[in-house]
């Protein structure tokens, strides 16, 4: 009887795993099937069209990366510094638990709410209108707690024996963190950052009301000014499917979905490769 239950449990767990795999394969297959007709060099590099058929997604791809880079520039220093503080310095007490509680609360705020907050603060109150920087700052608020968590987890995976060894030969706390703890944690930390970058790349709801749904107020659609409109790929995907007037909206939406999927997949693969190479290089010298 116990044997039967054991086999049954094994089978159910296996089936669940296979189920997830099949579901994912189905989604990817469906998106590829719908989207690959739309993909062409023209589609990937041209600006979008407002009325006629034949628009592309070039500026949207550019904006997605632009906002991603801005967001990481804002998020990474604060989140990593905060994570180091909480993991290495903070002693249990009201201050630490308050910070921890705030971070956790921030993490549970739905992205659409964060988007409306961005609309009120960056777009209206500060008068920036829809802008890349407003979008990036909204995404910063959204991803700060996650990146802080990632930092804490990467640091906590470093064995205490390394810290003890370093302190026991007269290194200071900061030397220990910089020369022993961070190098040992960097692989996992990088993996985490790249995974979060994938999430930022795919974020939509928080950007619709902050970075806007058109590509640029400037002269060029590929635009470095952070105060210009910056519709990203994922926002474009939502926009073409819900509000666009162009006759080939659904083809463009399908193509955008495929490109977005490919990009996010690339981030995930990159995360693994980078993590593995870094940890090899830093530990096996």
- Give whichever of 85 and 162 is closer to another protein, judged by the CB atom: 162
Query: Considering only 105-113, 157-165, 196-204, 252-260, which stretch makes contact with another protein by CB under 8 A?
Result: 157-165
- Token digits of residue 242: 């819900």
> Which run of H or E residues covers position 15?
helix 2-35
Q: Does 87 sit near another protein (CB under 8 A)?
A: no
Any idea which residue has 């993909």 for tokens? 39
Q: Does 161 sit near another protein (CB under 8 A)?
A: yes
**How many residues belong to the site for another protein (CB under 8 A)?**
24
Cβ at position 284, least distance to another protein in Å = 5
Q: Which of 2, 127, 169, 219 binds another protein (CB under 8 A)?
A: 169
Helix extents (H) in 36-110: 41-45, 58-84, 94-108
Q: Which of 65, 85, 162, 222 binds another protein (CB under 8 A)?
A: 162
Burial class (CB in 10 A: 0-12, 13-18, 19+), 199: middle
Q: Does 149 sit near another protein (CB under 8 A)?
A: no
Residues 256-285 that bind another protein (CB under 8 A): 282-285
Q: Does 180 sit near another protein (CB under 8 A)?
A: yes
Q: Does 186 sit near another protein (CB under 8 A)?
A: no
- Give whichever of 44 and 186 is closer to another protein, judged by the CB atom: 186
Cβ at position 183, least distance to another protein in Å = 8
264 Cβ contact partners less than 8 Å away, ≥ 6 residues apart: 198, 201, 202
Q: Does 168 sit near another protein (CB under 8 A)?
A: yes
Report yes or no: 247 and 53 within 8 Å, Cβ to Cβ: yes
The whole-angstrom separation of Cα 90 and Cα 103 is 15
Q: What are phi and psi of 88, to 5 degrees?
A: -105, -30
- Give whichever of 5 and 284 is closer to another protein, judged by the CB atom: 284
Q: Does 165 sit near another protein (CB under 8 A)?
A: yes
Query: Considering only 28-36, 72-80, 170-178, 246-254, which stretch makes contact with another protein by CB under 8 A?
Result: 170-178
The whole-angstrom separation of Cα 279 and Cα 58 is 35
The whole-angstrom separation of Cα 168 and Cα 160 is 12
- ∠ at Cα 18 (13, 19), nearest 5°? 95
Q: Which of 1, 2, 92, 108 binds another protein (CB under 8 A)?
A: 92
The whole-angstrom separation of Cα 270 and Cα 253 is 25
* Contacting positions for another protein (CB under 8 A): 91-92, 159, 161-172, 175, 179-180, 183-184, 282-285
């Amino acid at each position: 009887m116990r044997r039967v239950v054991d086999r049954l449990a094994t089978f159910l767990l296996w089936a669940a795993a296979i189920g997830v795999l099949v579901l994912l394969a189905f989604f990817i297959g469906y998106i590829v099937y719908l989207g690959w007709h739309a993909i062409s060099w023209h589609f990937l590099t041209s600006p979008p069209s407002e009325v006629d058929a034949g628009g592309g997604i070039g500026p949207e791809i550019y904006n997605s990366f632009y906002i991603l880079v801005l967001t990481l520039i804002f998020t990474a220093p604060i989140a990593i510094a905060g994570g180091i503080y909480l993991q290495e310095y903070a002693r249990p007490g009201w201050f630490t638990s308050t910070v921890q509680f705030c971070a956790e609360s921030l993490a549970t705020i739905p992205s659409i709410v964060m988007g409306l907050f961005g609309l009120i603060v960056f777009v209206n109150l500060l008068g920036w209108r829809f802008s890349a920087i407003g979008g990036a700052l909204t995404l910063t608020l959204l991803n700060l707690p996650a990146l802080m968590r990632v930092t804490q987890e990467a640091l906590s995976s470093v064995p205490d024996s390394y810290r003890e060894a370093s302190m026991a030969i007269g290194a200071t706390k900061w030397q220990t963190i910089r020369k022993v703890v961070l190098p040992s944690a960097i692989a996992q930390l990088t993996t985490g950052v790249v995974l979060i970058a994938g999430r930022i790349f795919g974020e939509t709801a928080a950007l619709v009301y902050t970075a806007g749904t058109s590509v640029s107020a400037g002269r060029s659609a590929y635009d470095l000014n952070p105060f210009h409109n910056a519709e990203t790929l994922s926002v474009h995907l939502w926009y073409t499917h819900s509000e666009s007037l162009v006759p080939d909206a659904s083809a463009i939406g399908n193509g955008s979905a495929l490109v977005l999927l490919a990009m996010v997949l690339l981030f995930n693969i990159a995360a693994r490769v980078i993590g593995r190479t870094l940890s090899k290089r830093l530990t096996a010298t």
